[in-house]
Amino acid sequence: MKGSEGEEPVEGSTAALLKRNTKAVANPLAGGDDGPVRLLVPDKTFQKKGDALIVSYDDLDLIKVLNLKVPEPNVMELLPDWLKKLNGEKVQIRGFMYPTFQEEGLERFVFCRDTGACCFGPNPVIYYLIDVHMQEGKTTHYIQNRPFDVTGTLRIKPGIIPETGLVYELYHLEDAVVRER
């Protein structure tokens, strides 16, 4: 919640955190091409399909949501409330399977936005990748270069390399089911 036009944001609000953290961004790549980190999508609602919320990679794209190019360890403080509320929710998302070394019996895989350089190149954008863990006792096969849906419980938990402080992962899907068409 923020104050009226021209007023300072209410302390403890997402807007206040964004304002404070925008000044403290140490990583020159952290802000997008259009300047510092700032909230671009203040509110969002989701349609339901069965018992799952329909989410897209655009909803998870921190450049589009926060103008945030490279997440830092404090990324959870920067997320808008609507995105934080997805943590622990059952969601359905469409994407592509990152190439694996295994054809059958996959208990987990990396799900990605597309097959372009953002995901399949040498330095994939971490918020275009989701670490997927299949439902207990279920597996899937490798699905090459074809979009499909995955339903599961979304967890938003940054993985941080202790030595460098770099965030290497952010999104996870647990108890997942692959929905091929």
* CA angle (68, 70, 75) in 5-degree steps: 70
Domain boundaries, the chain: 14-179
Q: Which amino acid is at 60?
A: L
Topology annotation, domain 14-179: OB fold (Dihydrolipoamide Acetyltransferase, E2P) (2.40.50)
Centroid of chain to Cα 64:
11
- Asked if 152 and 143 count as a contact pair (C-beta separation under 8 A), the reply is no
CA distances from 171 to 59, 90, 125 (A): 12, 13, 12
Residue 55 — left, alpha, or beta (φ > 0 → left; ψ -120 to 50 → alpha)?
A: beta
pTM of the predicted protein model = 0.79
Task: Give per-residue pLDDT as tens, 115-169.
Answer: 875 666 656 789 999 999 999 999 999 999 999 999 999 999 999 999 999 999 9
Q: Which amino acid is at 117?
A: A
